[in-house]
Amino acid sequence: QVQLVQSGAEVKKPGASVKVSCKASNYPFTSYGISWVRQAPGQGLEWMGWMATYDGNAKYAQKFQGRVTMTTDTSTTTAYMELRSLTSDDTAVYYCARDMKFAEAYQYWGQGTLVTVSS
């Protein structure tokens, strides 16, 4: 079945960067987009952006423009999300999610990666 397996938890200092990976399997990787969604402790879901895996085109939420980069490696069917200039407000669980063939709703999700930003 479709799987999205994310990299492990990270602890970062303020000002640092973090790069989270999302390994996809059991489906044609370049046929579906990958999005990133985060959830701060006790808070709701926040959309960060989306990437077309077939050509690398990305669109980011305005809030993260200039601070986030989403990439893919089609040879390893892995998507990446890098967030720079971290602050304590970036402490959250970060999810990757795969959209559907004809709708940008998220049918499959990774297990989540906890990123903690603390001095």
Give yes or no for a contact between 99 and 2, defined as CB atoms under 8 angstroms apart: no
Determine contact, residues 103/97, Cβ cutoff 8 Å: no
DSSP codes, 57-117: -EEE-GGGTTTEEEEEETTTTEEEEEE-S--GGG-EEEEEEEE-SSS-SEEEE---EEEEE
Residue 7: CB minimum distance to other proteins, A = 15
Q: How far apart are the first and last CA of the chain?
A: 40
> Which is nearer to other proteins, 47 or 54 (by Cβ)?
47
Site residues for other proteins per CB under 8 A: 35, 37, 44-47, 50, 59, 61-62, 95, 97, 100, 103-107, 109-112
Show Cβ contacts of residue 26 under 8 Å, excluding neighbours closer than 6 positions.
1, 2, 3
Shortest Å distance, C-beta 112 to other proteins: 6
> Nearest distance from residue 117's CB to other proteins, in Å?
20
**Looking at beta carbons only, is 19 or 59 nearer to other proteins?**
59
Closer to other proteins by CB, 41 or 55: give it.
41
Tell me how far, at minimum, the Cβ of 76 lies from other proteins, in Å: 22
Of 17 and 111, nearer to other proteins (C-beta) is: 111
